[in-house]
């Protein structure tokens, strides 16, 4: 069984991965010469950012529920 001290490590790992994915899509959007690809990369970046925010809120809600 995982302890509560491991929860922040998993949370940090997920947020780091989401941040990396957001940075990658932002870079791809900037360097892509094709307009439809720019739109797709921008949309994916927005979805990843929203996922990150929702994930952080969910983690905070779960932590508050346990205390």
Express each pLDDT in 24-41 by its tens digit. Answer: 999 999 999 999 999 999
- Whole-prediction pTM value? 0.78
Strands (E), the chain: none
Bigger pLDDT: 2 vs 56:
56
pLDDT level of residue 1 (50, 70, 90 thresholds)? very low
Q: Give how far Cα 27 sits from Cα of 4, 12, 49, Å.
A: 35, 22, 14
Return the pLDDT at 64.
82
Kindly report, residue by residue over 40-63, the tens digit of the pLDDT.
Answer: 999 999 999 999 999 999 888 887
pLDDT at 3 over 50: yes
């Amino acid at each position: 069984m995982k302890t509560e001290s491991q929860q922040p490590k998993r949370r940090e790992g997920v947020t780091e991965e989401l941040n990396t994915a957001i940075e990658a899509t932002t870079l791809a959007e900037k360097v892509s010469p094709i307009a439809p690809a720019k739109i797709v990369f921008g949309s994916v970046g927005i979805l990843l950012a929203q996922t990150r925010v929702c994930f952080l809120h969910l983690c905070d809600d779960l932590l508050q529920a346990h205390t």
